[in-house]
Amino acid sequence: MSATLINTEIKPFKAEAFHNGEFITVTNEDLKGKWAIVFFYPADFTFVCPTELGDLADYYSQLKDMGVEVYSVSTDTHFTHKAWHDTSDTIGKIQFPMIGDPTGAITRNFGVMIEEAGLAERGTFVIDPEGKIQIIEINAGGVGRDAGELVRKVKAAQYVAAHPGEVCPAKWKEGEATLAPSLDLVGKI
């Protein structure tokens, strides 16, 4: 189901989040006008989740410099996010908004709800400034994600968006050669 979300606009939502010591309201409109990452994870106070969120927090300033805002989302409440932030050194370094989705509405909008558990899959969505999903990654619960690889993918998506007619090959890194799809390349790669 998630693959069908590529190039679709994110659905409307409104939720409470914990951000920089305050509770704030976040809507789908807040994600527009800049690049955004929506980073779903199963639950606060767990095992793999804090390693992923801590890794993402380590890359947050680089992502901000790239014009990207990060939003983490779980089906916990914004109150639970605050408690976790206040009691965990790893989570305490997070500076991006931590959205609470206790009804599961946002998680369902993105197609990553584990219905029988009421929890989110490990889903990562990169959204362009128009509010359209450009990258989707979904991992099994026991497999943590790599924020460094996510940064590479965001750079590729930003490059392709800024350079119509060019594409980024596998393992592309900033500054490396891209491809311009054409009849001349068919069968040559």
The token pair that represents 38 in the structure block: 């929506």
| C-alpha–C-alpha distance, residues 185 and 77, integer Å | 51
Nearest to 134 by CA among 160, 166, 112, 113: 160
| C-alpha–C-alpha distance, residues 166 and 9, integer Å | 23
Helix ranges, 21-137 (H): 48-65, 78-87, 89-92, 105-109
Give the active site residues.
49
List, in order, residues 6 or more apart from 140 with CB less than 8 Å away.
122
Nearest to 181 by CA among 163, 165, 162, 169: 165
Q: Of all helices (H) and strands (E), which one includes residue 122?
A: strand 122-127
The token pair that represents 32 in the structure block: 């527009």
Q: Name the maximum alpha-carbon separation found in the chain.
A: 58
